[in-house]
Structure 1
Amino acid sequence: MSSAGAGFIHLSGRVRITIASKVTSPINHGLRILMRDLQTVLGELPELTELSDDNVDIVVRLASEEDVVPKHPEGFSFQFRENSLGTQLQIIGKDDLGLVYGILYFTERYLGIHPFWFWADQTVLHQERLTIPIEPYESSVSKVRFRGWFVNDEVCLIGWKDSYPPSREIWEHVFEALLRCRGNMVIPGTDLPKSGVHFDVAAEMGLWITHHHAEPLGAEMFLRAYPGKRASYQEAPELFEHLWSEAIEKQKDHKVLWVLSFRGQGDKPFWENDPSFDTPEKRGAMISKVIRRQYDLIGKSVKDPVYCVALYGEIAELYKGGFIDLPDDVIKVWADNGYGAMVSRRHGNLNLRVLALPERGDTGKHGIYYHVTFHDLQASNHLTMSSGSATFLKKEVEGAFAAGADDYLLLNCGNIRPHVYTLDILRTLWNEGTIEIDSHLEQFVRNYYEEGHVSLKELYRSYTKAAISYGPNPDDLAGDEYYHHPARRIMGHWLQGKGDETDERLIWATGEVSFAEQVRSFARRCEEGLAKWNNWVENCDKAIYILGENDKKKAIDQLRFHGALHRSGCEGFLWLCHSYAAYSKKQYPQAFVYASQSLWSYEEGLHVLRGSEQGKWEHFYRADWLTNIESTVRNVDTVRRFLRMQGDSPEFFLWYKEYLMPETEKHIYLENTHRNPLSDDELARRLKVYFEKSNQA
């Protein structure tokens, strides 16, 4: 029901809506969201009616020739016209996706439902009526033509519910958030079973589908289709081309950004399995040949195809060296290093940091593949927010735009929930082309929190300042994986008896020094980091304490969660390093205590995960298989069991007798009355107290 007055429309109660266009699948999803949102805010389910335009409050339709609507693809406008009920709002889209954007912008602007309402647990307020100013609106064209997410390393989405692969319900929330960010393309998951609904739901909701660079054209992996065969295009081109043709036939009627590429099986250089390609010239020639063949196959079956090539890893190096020839109309996609810097990524200990952007004079279309989350078994952020500041992200992305890489922006969005602030920064950048950091943060905090805005803004600002800086570059900042993958490497190296050898897998972080010095290097960094994370979490707790219940829970999950994971991981790693140092001096009981303190600190990380799994988020982090805090806990437990073997075995009573038993008892006790050794935890706690008192003395 609507009413009007003094330049406003007022909507309340049961709003009547008509759709004056053919209801395609994307438009149907948009209407579903509009109906749900109006019911949530006004308390009544709207009436979707076929009444004439004169008898409804809102008309939703595609543009006609006479309409004032932006001419660019995906444009939309709000127009107003008088009818028998007063003034009517018309949401008009240039095309299906434009109409969906118009609907979602309506719910954001007038209902206050923000892009990450679901993922950030926004409290959507009930309103008695909506007040809409009678002011026509026309959307602006986004800075980036193709902009979207790669739902990658999505183990939390996979493990959240019992069904596998993830269900329609999960994907609808993922793609709704993307559409609310005005994204238009997606790689919906990583190597999920073909039986999943992820591709279907993405297409239904109007998104362009694109592909992982390791799965060109979205084709089935060669070794899955032909197990036991040698994956060599040179030897069996017809088998590869059969898979590509199948993929083209399956997708040709959808909106697809066709990814042309040629990498080896398992996302690695193809020549690792074919050493005859032993020069850049040979490698570049083969990649060029394959890409041209893929290009031609698509062109024969698809009208006006859109192509892109991922210049990732070795392909970027070959392209920059002039060894790869690409068709002129292919979008060349450059990748950051996983930590937000537009340079080549680190491979093990090799970190060339070659600029990963088009050079002046490199014609054609360009774009970027950018990480707000990453998994590299070194120092990346997976469970936690990016350690890169908003200012750093702005510099890198705006710099890419300035270099001409603004036709395409694919974001590695991970599991979405931990990364909403960073994703919101990139949403602004891909739409506006620039961002004003302070005003954006002000609006972000006001969108998702009802109070405490000043202190919450400062926590978001200061979060990245607490990150451990482990190298000379501005992006050498530790994410949550820093406390786990290197720690597990150290434990493995240690227990394998290799302490007299440098662990070559850690040189990227420590330099080429002895293993003992590698451990000390991590200890120094963790000691510095722990002080900063303790301070940040303390400030977080002070800010949270004065918030209301709704905001308190959100701040714990959206802010404190990240700092607590850093602090517990940092502390656990530090105690582990102390344990190794004591072990090296044959101080086995002390090493045992330090390993126990490491275990307890890492266990705190598990408590943080479990504490964030309430309500709709139950089990969200149970598939933490990448950072894998639980694995670290098990590894540290193995270490302390090993340490207890170094002096308390076989009776597991010797340390109790030496350090804890009263002197009056040591020489008169009867062994047959002391046959129940203390548990590892109890022994460690009591030894900890003993050593602390001894040190004080």
Structure 2
Amino acid sequence: MGNANVYKLLPDTPISVPERPAKPVRHALDMLARDWQAVFGQAPSFGSESSAAKAVDFSIAIRYAQPQDECPERPEAFVIRFPAAAGDDAAMVIAARDHLGLVYGILHLSRVYLGVDPFWFWADIPILPQSSVSIVATDYISPEAAVRFRGWFVNDEVCLIGWKDGYPPTEEVWMPVFEALLRCGGNMVIPGTDLPRDGIHWKLASEMGLWITHHHAEPLGAEMFLRAYPGKTPSYKEHPELFEKLWRDAIEEQKEQSLVWVLSFRGQGDAPFWQYDPSFVTSESRGEMISRVIRKQYEMVHEAVPEPVCCVALYGEIAELYKEGHIDLPDDVIKVWADNGYGKMVSRRHGNTNLRKPALPDAGDRGKHGLYYHVTFHDLQASNHLTMFPSSSAFVNRELQQAFHAGAQDYWLINCGNIRQHAYLLDFIGKLWLTGQEDVERHLADWIGRLFSGEHDGIARLYRQYAELTIRYGPHEDDRAGDEFYHHPARKIVGRWIQGKRDQSDKRLHWATGDVPFAEQVKWFGRKCEEALPGWEQWVASCRALAGRLEENEKMRLYDQLLFHGELHRSGCRGFIALAKAYEAFDGGSFALSFVYATDAKREYAEGIKLLSRAEHGKWERFYKADWLTNVKSTVYNMDTLLKFIRMHGDSPDFFLWYKEYIMPETEKYIYLENTHRNPLSDDDLADRLREKFKAQGIYR
């Protein structure tokens, strides 16, 4: 071997494994086997420890810790030892205290020695074939994670739902989700949002070793009241026994699993409970009810489960009531604080109400604390769903570091959405929850180096510029727009316009524009997009130019992970600008010109559908089929409806008048025969011909 402390990992290196591995370990061994096949071109040589070859230069033993391994006595700990580093029977031992520790040890082998990236699947990072791998015989002791319970909430997961056949999503969809989470060092998950209970998602997550936790609107993972008791008023005051039956059934069903039990009391559909029980009109009465319900849930769990881990979601109105001193909680529950959906640790905006109350524990608030944080959000206003987080990773780092130092170290639940679009930030947070700190620039360089073989500085610059170019729609640093900004407000504007309510300010848009006349609201959105568009145009051009210098597979990776996101912003800006121009022209009585701009808006928004389609290559075919939340297709439909509505103003009833007025030669206008000229032009043809006419007249800009 030359150097006694360097060994060769070969395709046929024997690997001893436990004889009857637990399900989490078996899943991890399956991952290792697949990784091994990808790297060495053949399956690994698994066997029991007693049958492992001894007359080879190097072997691997995967086992539960023995005294000589000196593995730390804490959950999830694992070690890598080289007990025979100085002898002839060299071996590497991966030993752990528990199932999850062994899973992490196995995945450490894949990542560090086989070079398999945690996001190999979601970011299409290739696994490089090798004939052998050099291993330096240096012992490794896994550090204790900075955050005890750390994981993803697979929320608003419409891409995962529409991607493959079968509903709820099948193992084919969920396996790479849970695998990536484990490879990032995560140990907890909410696998989906309100999916049918007969799906595989809960069972598979548990089998792979993950702790299960619950949505704050579904305490204890119980069925929704109105789903179980349709027609009854969802009031705990009126029907305590029905609520408690749902909770008791949920506890009984899940008590054998590793759970972080969520205690909470919100109304149906993730709203304050007093919307369904208006007798609670004071903060005191609301806080007393929430406290009583949480205490009851706490007692029920403790009756059925020995030493349960419980948390309380301080989300929305519950956080505000707790801060005001109206909610009393058991001492040992983890209090989970939430950001506002845009990454700032303040209370979230509800409609037009934006109190921005700090959502972190006060200095004197003892006990355990955690956080619920969004890298993607859906609020029908300005959130990011299809695109990357609109603020910088430096901003995210500051907020998470602040939360960590305020005591939120026991539980981190990250809203990961559909994962693929948010891999960069999920990877960053995965580093942070393990170590408690991470250098933003170092991580960016590492991320880019894992995805691309060259052009690193240019790609890093594009990542930084992306967060600088997102629309700043309000006075706060986190008031930055994601893709929903271009779509939900635009559809609201079209609806109000067609409904004949243009004389009324749309209250649904006051969060952005303030209480101004409707025409000013439309103009506000158009102006914001006009200000942002030049930056996006330049950014897209730079990104495309850089892509031209990459190899074909890396060019597609750049599109999926970066360019796609900027192009969606650009098409959204263009579409909204055209919509604002259409309204201005309509408001001034220039209906034909308004029709042209509305057609422009439809085409610009339709470009977004093409962008989604382009990202559906290979294994990603149909990935955006169920774009129901941002819903680009719905925006296109709205624009198509609008332009038809506008055409009714001036070109009706025969849809020939604009042709005659603007397009027909003067010499024909007074002598044409109706039977030869009454075949109306299509919307697209008419718009194109009108556009050329208005350009020539200098009134189309």
Question: What is the aligned partner in structure 1 of residue 183 from structure 2?
Answer: 180
Question: What is the aligned partner in structure 1 of residue 505 from structure 2?
Answer: 502
Question: What is the aligned partner in structure 2 of residue 89 from structure 1?
Answer: 92
* Aligned counterparts, 1:51-90, within 5 A: 51-55=50-54, 57-82=59-84, 86-90=89-93
Kindly indicate whether the alpha-carbon contact (under 8 Å) linking 2:370 and 2:408 is maintained by their aligned counterparts in 1. Answer: yes
Kindly indicate whether the alpha-carbon contact (under 8 Å) linking 1:214 and 1:262 is maintained by their aligned counterparts in 2. Answer: yes
Aligned residue identity for 2:84: E
* Aligned counterparts, 1:447-462, within 5 A: 447-462=450-465
Which shows bigger deviation, 186-195 or 420-429?
Answer: 420-429
Residue 375 in structure 1 maps to residue 375 in structure 2: no
For 1:463-501, what per-residue CA distance to the aligned partner results, in whole angstroms no more than 9, with x for missing partners?
A: 111100000000000100000000000001111111111
Shift in Å, 1:172: 0.8
The DSSP-based 3-state class of the residue aligned with 1:48 is strand
Shift in Å, 1:237: 1.3
Question: What is the aligned partner in structure 1 of residue 27 from structure 2?
Answer: 29
* Aligned counterparts, 1:249-648, within 5 A: 249-648=252-651
Normalising by structure 2, we get a TM-score of 0.97
- Structure-1 separation of matches of 2:272 and 2:539: 42
Aligned residue identity for 1:37: D
- Structure-1 separation of matches of 2:400 and 2:20: 39
For 1:249-293, what per-residue CA distance to the aligned partner results, in whole angstroms no more than 9, with x for missing partners?
A: 111111000000111111111111111111111111111111111
Kindly indicate whether the alpha-carbon contact (under 8 Å) linking 1:10 and 1:132 is maintained by their aligned counterparts in 2. Answer: yes
Aligned residue identity for 1:523: G
Shift in Å, 1:360: 1.0
Shift in Å, 1:5: 4.1
- Structure-2 separation of matches of 1:321 and 1:280: 9
Aligned residue identity for 1:508: W
- Structure-2 separation of matches of 1:210 and 1:58: 35
The runs of 5 or more residues in structure 1 that have no matched partner are: none
- Structure-2 separation of matches of 1:525 and 1:74: 49
- Structure-2 separation of matches of 1:255 and 1:483: 41
For 1:556-603, what per-residue CA distance to the aligned partner results, in whole angstroms no more than 9, with x for missing partners?
A: 111111001110011101100110000000101110000011011000
The DSSP-based 3-state class of the residue aligned with 2:133 is strand
Shift in Å, 1:676: 2.0
- Structure-1 separation of matches of 2:18 and 2:84: 17
The runs of 5 or more residues in structure 2 that have no matched partner are: none
Residue 685 in structure 1 maps to residue 688 in structure 2: yes
Aligned residue identity for 1:60: I
Shift in Å, 1:537: 0.7
Kindly indicate whether the alpha-carbon contact (under 8 Å) linking 1:80 and 1:88 is maintained by their aligned counterparts in 2. Answer: yes
Kindly indicate whether the alpha-carbon contact (under 8 Å) linking 1:222 and 1:240 is maintained by their aligned counterparts in 2. Answer: yes
Change (3 A) 1:133 1:639: same
Residue 650 in structure 1 maps to residue 653 in structure 2: yes
- Structure-2 separation of matches of 1:440 and 1:680: 50
The DSSP-based 3-state class of the residue aligned with 1:206 is coil
Shift in Å, 1:110: 1.1
- Structure-2 separation of matches of 1:172 and 1:194: 18
Which shows bigger deviation, 147-156 or 133-142?
Answer: 133-142
Kindly indicate whether the alpha-carbon contact (under 8 Å) linking 2:76 and 2:96 is maintained by their aligned counterparts in 1. Answer: yes
Which shows bigger deviation, 5-14 or 237-246?
Answer: 5-14
- Structure-2 separation of matches of 1:452 and 1:537: 16
Shift in Å, 1:111: 1.3
Aligned residue identity for 1:73: P
Shift in Å, 1:429: 1.3
Question: What is the aligned partner in structure 1 of residue 232 from structure 2?
Answer: 229
- Structure-1 separation of matches of 2:89 and 2:575: 66
Kindly indicate whether the alpha-carbon contact (under 8 Å) linking 1:451 and 1:551 is maintained by their aligned counterparts in 2. Answer: no
Shift in Å, 1:22: 4.3
* Aligned counterparts, 1:30-49, within 5 A: 30-49=28-47
Kindly indicate whether the alpha-carbon contact (under 8 Å) linking 2:69 and 2:81 is maintained by their aligned counterparts in 1. Answer: no
Residue 146 in structure 1 maps to residue 145 in structure 2: no
Aligned residue identity for 1:582: A
For 1:15-73, what per-residue CA distance to the aligned partner results, in whole angstroms no more than 9, with x for missing partners?
A: 32111464000000010001110110011111211253453721111112332223331
RMSD: 1.4
Kindly indicate whether the alpha-carbon contact (under 8 Å) linking 1:4 and 1:10 is maintained by their aligned counterparts in 2. Answer: no
Shift in Å, 1:76: 1.2
Aligned residue identity for 2:244: E
Shift in Å, 1:146: 0.5
- Structure-2 separation of matches of 1:428 and 1:508: 35
Which shows bigger deviation, 667-676 or 677-686?
Answer: 667-676
Kindly indicate whether the alpha-carbon contact (under 8 Å) linking 2:69 and 2:79 is maintained by their aligned counterparts in 1. Answer: no
The DSSP-based 3-state class of the residue aligned with 1:259 is strand
Kindly indicate whether the alpha-carbon contact (under 8 Å) linking 1:4 and 1:87 is maintained by their aligned counterparts in 2. Answer: no
The DSSP-based 3-state class of the residue aligned with 2:81 is strand
Shift in Å, 1:174: 0.2
The DSSP-based 3-state class of the residue aligned with 2:7 is strand
Shift in Å, 1:338: 0.1
* Aligned counterparts, 1:662-677, within 5 A: 662-677=665-680
Aligned residue identity for 1:46: P
Question: What is the aligned partner in structure 1 of residue 10 from structure 2?
Answer: 12
Shift in Å, 1:450: 2.1
Question: What is the aligned partner in structure 2 of residue 162 from structure 1?
Answer: 165
- Structure-1 separation of matches of 2:93 and 2:216: 41
Question: What is the aligned partner in structure 1 of residue 242 from structure 2?
Answer: 239
Aligned residue identity for 1:27: V
For 1:522-548, what per-residue CA distance to the aligned partner results, in whole angstroms no more than 9, with x for missing partners?
A: 111010111111111111111101100
The DSSP-based 3-state class of the residue aligned with 1:684 is helix
Shift in Å, 1:4: 7.5
Shift in Å, 1:184: 0.4
Kindly indicate whether the alpha-carbon contact (under 8 Å) linking 1:63 and 1:69 is maintained by their aligned counterparts in 2. Answer: yes
- Structure-2 separation of matches of 1:428 and 1:667: 76
Aligned residue identity for 1:88: A
- Structure-1 separation of matches of 2:423 and 2:487: 23
Which shows bigger deviation, 160-169 or 654-663?
Answer: 654-663
Normalising by structure 1, we get a TM-score of 0.98
Runs of 4+ aligned residues of structure 1 deviating over 6 Å after TM superposition are none
- Structure-2 separation of matches of 1:25 and 1:151: 22
- Structure-1 separation of matches of 2:666 and 2:238: 79
- Structure-2 separation of matches of 1:4 and 1:46: 25
The DSSP-based 3-state class of the residue aligned with 1:183 is coil
- Structure-1 separation of matches of 2:656 and 2:115: 65
Q: Give aligned pairs, total.
A: 695
Aligned residue identity for 1:446: G
Aligned residue identity for 1:222: F
The DSSP-based 3-state class of the residue aligned with 1:411 is strand
- Structure-2 separation of matches of 1:98 and 1:411: 22
- Structure-1 separation of matches of 2:47 and 2:456: 42
Shift in Å, 1:665: 2.3
Aligned residue identity for 2:623: F
Shift in Å, 1:6: 4.2
Kindly indicate whether the alpha-carbon contact (under 8 Å) linking 1:261 and 1:291 is maintained by their aligned counterparts in 2. Answer: yes
- Structure-1 separation of matches of 2:591 and 2:552: 47
Aligned residue identity for 2:59: D
Aligned residue identity for 2:297: Q
- Structure-1 separation of matches of 2:519 and 2:22: 64
